Amino acid sequence: MALVAGQEPYQGQIEKMLRDRDVNVRLAAIASAMISPGETTSEALKNAFDDSAPEVHFAAAKALFTLNDPAGKPALLAVLAGESKTSSGFIAQQRRGWRQGAK
């Protein structure tokens, strides 16, 4: 998917993957979108800021900063200031792993 990101219908598929239940799928979607960003990539990444997983929020902020989108900078500064996390805690990771195993 990453090789054809930025082109439809693949860009839409990657953006859909940003809403997947699995955190790893959402992280992979961000990485794929960054290989060949399309016109709607920045907007899709901004939507990832509302993600409950800190990993996804942080990855979206890094991606936006890389795209020179000003929305990424405050999120990265919040991490540097210790106001925001870059990863889930142990319990949240275990809970997520349990739910994924129960599918």
Among 52, 87, 57, 55, smallest CA distance to 74 is for 57
Among 72, 79, 96, 77, smallest CA distance to 23 is for 96
Total domain count for the chain? 1
Alpha helices in the chain (DSSP H): 10-17, 23-35, 41-47, 54-66, 72-80, 90-101
pTM for this model (two decimals): 0.74
What residues make up the domain containing 58?
2-101
Give residue-wise pLDDT tens across range 55-91.
Answer: 899 999 999 999 999 998 988 888 888 887 777 666 6
Spell out the residues 6+ positions from residue 57 whose beta carbon is closer than 8 angstroms to its own: 48, 49, 51, 75, 84
